[in-house]
A and B are shown apart, each in its own frame.
Chain A
């Protein structure tokens, strides 16, 4: 069933905004303003925005390693998400986490993780808590094709399926675990078949078609809320950049990259749909884009003007009930 024009416009706004978000992060990562490394999600906006759009504030969200986009859409003040990536005191975690650890419990963004596969078992606990307390909040965990090699995925699916835990496993298959194509690391042609051994319903959908993303996610959420257990969805997508900002990604064939950027850009595809099917005008969409650009410019300004954290705060909250010794 097609989504409404209003919803598609909202998704267009979200997707455009997180694309711009990542473009700015890339600029400031490459010029050294952002310390460390960042994993950009440009090209994966449809899956990120589409999945998050299906969730309630009280649902538990575990974005993945390449998750800035999804995190920015969880409901947190976006400029504080960006400030965290900039290592600023105004960051949502006060600068202690950075690109790979942006969490906000207020909106149940449980955060992602520097360890591939870690959240795939941590998410069992939030789903268990829903079941234990008898609420219908679901847990969504994002993972990548590379993550699927981790043993935690097997333990997690096995336990979630046995106990019918309300988890939606969202595998964003961008096809490369750094340089290794998933077909070189896994025997399956489509990774959704991997879940069949656990008797978990699974499917592969076009992760760059936001309508398909939303439809598949909503089906899975409905099952989970009704107590019917987990679902495993593989969203086929592609990351435009290398593994981290600055990785030239020479391991991918040029024509493959070109095909995904030119013909399968999720934002361009949605724009075409809005114009041809929903009768939107270029102007209408440009207005949305201009608004997003403005918002992004404000975020960047906020980040650049924000102070660094206080160095001694690095010692805070190691333990819940005691301080640690300073030097």
Chain B
């Protein structure tokens, strides 16, 4: 049975259900046990399973290191890194260890860890609590990067991630925690490595992640009034990427816009752009456009933060440009 719950609640429910289903699942991280997480996402777990929910010191390397070691032994750790910005502190364990364990052990051991962390701007906390980090991880073969946007996705993709045998970096977005949507009560999975066509259209393809998806939908509604039909794709898993869905869409529409909240240079959009140029450039009727934040650290003052983030009007402008080209 479905009901309307928040993105944060959906993640919490997925954790509870997976803990219940599989004794090898445990959580650890800073303030995840007694307090239930800085954003309240792990609430209630410690009360039910005190020995399977561990509060740790502020030691990101130890948190992910422990998770990796336990994963080799067949456990399924779900460590939390309080803010995605802090993954720099455990980058070695993610990049040099988690991502390589399956390869190192030649498939004899896996690394079934799901690193939950929260990224994104919009809460006026400046450059150490506001970054979008997917591009920091995208050049590391072996990692799986999941970016859920709706409550439905959040629950299903988290359950799939926990059951998956690869190291998954599960990037939640803090501005989405209170957004609501329909979510089935029972546990369910959503295929990883599979993009979702959220809206079908024939003139422009917009590939967008997390907060940028909302901008894409708003822009699509505006463009519809102008007689332009927009197709919107949510990649869900950005690595390994469902290239096929995106390539097929662009082959149909001939126009591509990529929208994401992180910086432009070397970002997710650059990779999508390159893939499309390599595969279906002859179908393109206009240059590929990217709508992103500006290439700067995120400033604290609200007017400054708002200035650098992408907005609906930027997506609309890009749509008009590709149509007029």
Contact = CB atoms under 8 A, between A and B. Distances in A.
Interface stretch (B5-13, B90-98, B221-229): B90-98
Interface stretch (B105-113, B123-131, B251-259): B105-113
A18 interface: no
Contacts of A128: 66, 69-70, 75
Interface string B48-64: 00010010110101101
Contacts of B141: 318, 324
B56 A159 contact: yes
A118 B92 contact: yes
A123 B103 CA distance: 18
B37 interface: no
A114 B193 contact: no
Nearest to A165: B66
A121 B105 CA distance: 18
A134 B223 CA distance: 61
A126 interface: yes
Contact of A132 (B70, B93, B110, B164): B70
Nearest to B107: A317
Nearest to B58: A155
B103 A96 contact: yes
Contact of A124 (B66, B106, B166): B66
A105 B61 CA distance: 23
A123 to B, nearest CB: 6
Interface residues of A, number: 41
A61 interface: no
Contact of A162 (B57, B72, B93, B164): B57
A324 B57 CA distance: 37
Contacts of B108: 105
A95 to B, nearest CB: 10
A126 B111 CA distance: 13
Contacts of A159: 56-57, 59, 62, 66
B57 A321 contact: no
Among B51, B61, B64, find the residue whose CB has the most chain A CB atoms closer than 10 A: B61
Contacts of B142: 318-319
A316 B102 CA distance: 10
Contacts of B193: 322
A125 B165 contact: no
B122 to A, nearest CB: 31
B201 interface: no
Interface in A268-327: 316-322, 324
Interface of A: 60, 93-94, 96-97, 101, 103, 105, 110-111, 113-115, 118, 120-129, 132, 151-152, 155-156, 158-159, 162-163, 316-322, 324
15 contacts: A60-B73, A118-B97, A121-B64, A124-B65, A125-B72, A125-B73, A128-B70, A128-B75, A151-B61, A156-B65, A159-B57, A159-B59, A319-B142, A321-B165, A324-B240
